[in-house]
Chains A and B, each alone.
Chain A
Amino acid sequence: MTFSLTNLANPSRFLTFAGAVIPWLAALTVILLGIGLYQAFFVAPTDYQQGETVRIMYIHVPAAWVGMGCYAVIAIAALGTLIWRHPLADVAAKAAAPIGATFTFVILVTGSLWGKPMWGTYWVWDARLTSLLVLFLLYLGLIALWQSIEDPGRAGRAAAILALVGAVNLPIIKFSVDWWNTLHQPASVFRAGGPTIDPALLTPLFVMGGAFLALFVLLHLIAMRAEILRRRVRVLQQTQVAQAALS
């Protein structure tokens, strides 16, 4: 069996695939998180200006990558739902939304905890902070839309449309620190001309980024599996009711 998206379109085959991958992915996540957290808290030097609080970065920045990447996953899955009618795209998007909302919440919380010692305030209405708050609200809106439409097919397509409309926010977040000169620091890792962070601080950051990515994929696969099973239960219940009504 070759690995391809069309192949995985069959939910049963996807369940087999997920069942095989999840243990390995869980092990990878634990190892990466272990290495990353150890490096972040014990190996990485303290910053000459920020002292120990710079370690918040090792949670905050990878969470930001994943929190925004998750919306990109939802937007791509939305295209899959609307254009190619891929049966699992809708499941992928629905499973990703709560995970993305959680990561975005982590970004907001760690960011404000970092902001207090650095900027002297938990919250400012700065462009980057505000656009991330809007991202969080978009996640909440998507989840609410899925919750309030009963038919999964209709809910999936409605949410896909909303997800694509909301996707205009993503570039605004990414470039907010370049377009508006505000309190949040400008891009320092992924920027033209290379990172401005010392390698001693940067390596643990990338390890943590990998760990968070693995964690996201792991959680996403588990949530997708749960969603597929939930839909099967729903279909079984419906056939049961239909049979009871016939007999």
Chain B
Amino acid sequence: MKAALALLRRDIALAFREGGAIGVALGFYLVVVAIAPFGLGPDMNLLARVAPGLLWIALLLAALLSADRIFHNDYEDGSLDVLAMGPLPLAAVAASKSLAHWVTTCVPLALLAPVLGLLLNFPIDAIPILVLAMLVGTPAVSFIAGIGASLTLGLRRSGLLLALLVLPLYVPVLIFGVSTISAAVTGPGSPWPPFLMLCAISLASMVLAPLAAAAALRNSFR
């Protein structure tokens, strides 16, 4: 536990001091949302209606952008081999690295979402539930990305392959994430049932995904 926390702290510190990746993900999020009105037309009512889905899709794409870096740097410089031989179970290594991705990428993206929501005429009183749904749903995003990143470790064009492998698995997160926000904005019904489903998806992937990622990592060492 202590070792996993130390690893988590190290990865977060590295990501923040390096800086680049977080900035690129945030910039990408801004650009995708900013070009959407050029494609859809500047009708504010239409934008308000598509805002929940658009914000979620742009968030998934932006989170994917940095996903192949979850294990890549440590794989390149050999520290992943050291971690694999160390006392910490490989599943715990995978979990800690996915969690670091969540803290350094998904949390900033979720916190940027209200600003982008204003651009899309998203109702201000629904912003707390927008951020809450994104904070609760994105652990699933990071942990599933961890599976994809470990499967494509060391491959050429791994980023493209990662998107093809991982995006279909994001469909449940997208469905329940968007329906939570839509229910809060327009109804009908309460936003809490889809919100609880979102929690369940996140919790399940936090438990199961590190096992799959660890198996994939072990495979890439052989």
Interfacial residues, chain A to chain B (CB-CB below 8 A):
82, 130, 134, 137-138, 140-141, 144-145, 148-149, 153-154, 157-158, 161-162, 164-166
Given A134-B171, A154-B220, A166-B169, check contact A148 B156 (CB 8 Å): yes
Given A158-B151, A162-B151, A164-B212, check contact A145 B165 (CB 8 Å): yes
Asked if A161 and B161 sit within 8 Å, CB to CB, the answer is no
Assembled-state Cα–Cα distance A82/B152 (Å): 18
Closest 3 CB pairs of A and B: A137-B168, A157-B219, A141-B165
Interfacial residues, chain B to chain A (CB-CB below 8 A):
147, 151-152, 155-157, 161, 164-165, 167-169, 171, 209, 212, 215-216, 219-220, 222
Assembled-state Cα–Cα distance A134/B167 (Å): 10
Asked if A148 and B147 sit within 8 Å, CB to CB, the answer is no
B126 CB to closest chain A CB (Å) equals: 23
Asked if A161 and B216 sit within 8 Å, CB to CB, the answer is yes
B72 CB to closest chain A CB (Å) equals: 15
Q: Find chain A residues with CB under 8 A from B155 CB.
A: 148-149
Assembled-state Cα–Cα distance A121/B71 (Å): 45
Assembled-state Cα–Cα distance A153/B218 (Å): 13
Q: Find chain B residues with CB under 8 A from A149 CB.
A: 155
Q: Find chain B residues with CB under 8 A from A130 CB.
A: 171
- List 18 A-B pairs, Cβ < 8 Å: A138-B168, A141-B164, A141-B168, A145-B152, A148-B157, A153-B222, A154-B220, A157-B215, A157-B219, A158-B151, A158-B216, A158-B219, A161-B147, A161-B212, A161-B219, A162-B147, A165-B169, A166-B168
Asked if B151 and A145 sit within 8 Å, CB to CB, the answer is yes
Assembled-state Cα–Cα distance A189/B164 (Å): 34
Given contact pairs A158-B216, A158-B219, A162-B147, enumerate 7 new A-B contacts (beta carbons under 8 Å): A82-B215, A140-B164, A141-B164, A148-B155, A154-B219, A165-B147, A165-B169
Given A157-B219, A158-B219, A161-B212, check contact A144 B164 (CB 8 Å): yes
Q: Find chain A residues with CB under 8 A from B164 CB.
A: 137, 140-141, 144
Q: Find chain B residues with CB under 8 A from A140 CB.
A: 164
Assembled-state Cα–Cα distance A236/B83 (Å): 37
Q: Find chain B residues with CB under 8 A from A162 CB.
A: 147, 151, 165
Assembled-state Cα–Cα distance A166/B151 (Å): 13
Nearest A-chain residue to B147, judged by Cβ: A165
Assembled-state Cα–Cα distance A140/B160 (Å): 13
A206 CB to closest chain B CB (Å) equals: 32
From B157, B171, B215, A161 is in contact (CB under 8 Å) with: B215
Given A82-B215, A161-B151, check contact A154 B165 (CB 8 Å): no
A120 CB to closest chain B CB (Å) equals: 24
B57 CB to closest chain A CB (Å) equals: 14
Assembled-state Cα–Cα distance A167/B212 (Å): 13
Q: Find chain A residues with CB under 8 A from B222 CB.
A: 153-154
Assembled-state Cα–Cα distance A137/B169 (Å): 10
Q: Find chain B residues with CB under 8 A from A153 CB.
A: 222
Given A138-B168, A162-B151, check contact A145 B219 (CB 8 Å): no
Assembled-state Cα–Cα distance A165/B212 (Å): 8
A201 CB to closest chain B CB (Å) equals: 34
Assembled-state Cα–Cα distance A145/B148 (Å): 10
